[in-house]
Amino acid sequence: MNPAERSYFVRSAANRLGFDHCGLARAQRLDEDARRLESWLTKGFQGSMRYMENHFDLRVDPGKLVPGARSVITLLLNYFPAQQQNDKAPQVSKYAYGQDYHDVIRPKLNAFLLELKEKFGEIQGRGFVDSAPVLERSWAQKAGLGWVGKNGNLINKQAGSFFFIATLITDLELEYDAPFAKDYCGTCTRCIDVCPTEAILPGKVIDGSKCISYFTIELKDALIPEAMKGKFDNWMFGCDACQDICPWNRFAKPQQQEAFTPIPEILHFSSNDWEELTEENFKKIFRDSPLKRAKYAGIRRNLRFLKER
């Protein structure tokens, strides 16, 4: 098979596995991204997320992750929910409404790679979903799937930004998509203006150490800094403020994955329900949920912080 025929099979396999979009890019070192990442780390925008400082060379060179890498396949999976929370209850980011996306996407990636190996022989490849040093959004842009908006999210012109991004790096030679060259954010600054903690800076730079998602998920300290009081806009786990206001998300369509069906308690819990939640019930209800990343103690801390505003 020639590269065009192989690429057709790759896209067909991705579609069969339920991915919404598939883009193909030539594997190469990301020199410009390396400079941006180095600057971002130097400024301390990673906060206490020290893992962001690790494996710098792996982040910018796919050949270090898969020797002989020729192609980077980027896959998008929609998570936009058909139903949303009562806006008076403590808010949970939409990506966390259903089952943990790692547990949903990893088996798909494994099945994807297996299907490619059955078709093309003993190719080398590794799949990643937010679990290794891969600059997913850069590869998605290089694969023609969209542009990186001012809020740092990948934006697809037809479908918005409510997508999980998965990456498969392989030594299979393919026919590549043209990079997405245009930035359709234009002069719009809605995401910058709406950010409650002013974490979105000019030049598509996100100060991760000021993001509500950082404080409510990544920060493991017992207390959230006093300076953030009154700035969380009722976000208990993550934050969608910059995505909710983005005009391109008017094109977002409800997702079709059963695993991402919202956990009923997330949709229907009141503030009192969250306050009265025991650790035993938390572990039972959210055992397969992204909320377990914050753990029960983290959720309790976040709820206390919202009450103190």
C-alpha distances in angstroms, 16 versus 22, 81, 139, 144, 160? 11, 21, 22, 20, 22
Q: Which of 31, 57, 130, 221 is catalytic?
A: 130
Nearest to 98 by CA among 260, 267, 285: 260
Indicate the residue type of 194.
V
What is each CA distance from 56 to 31, 83, 125, 165, 224, in whole angstroms?
12, 39, 20, 20, 29
Residue 8's identity, in one-letter code, is Y
Query: Is 233 tagged catalytic?
Result: no
Could you tell me the two tokens for 100?
Answer: 């943990």
| Residues 174 and 7 sit within 8 Å (Cβ to Cβ) | yes
Say how far apart CA 144 and CA 139 lie, in whole Å: 9
What is the set of active-site residues?
130
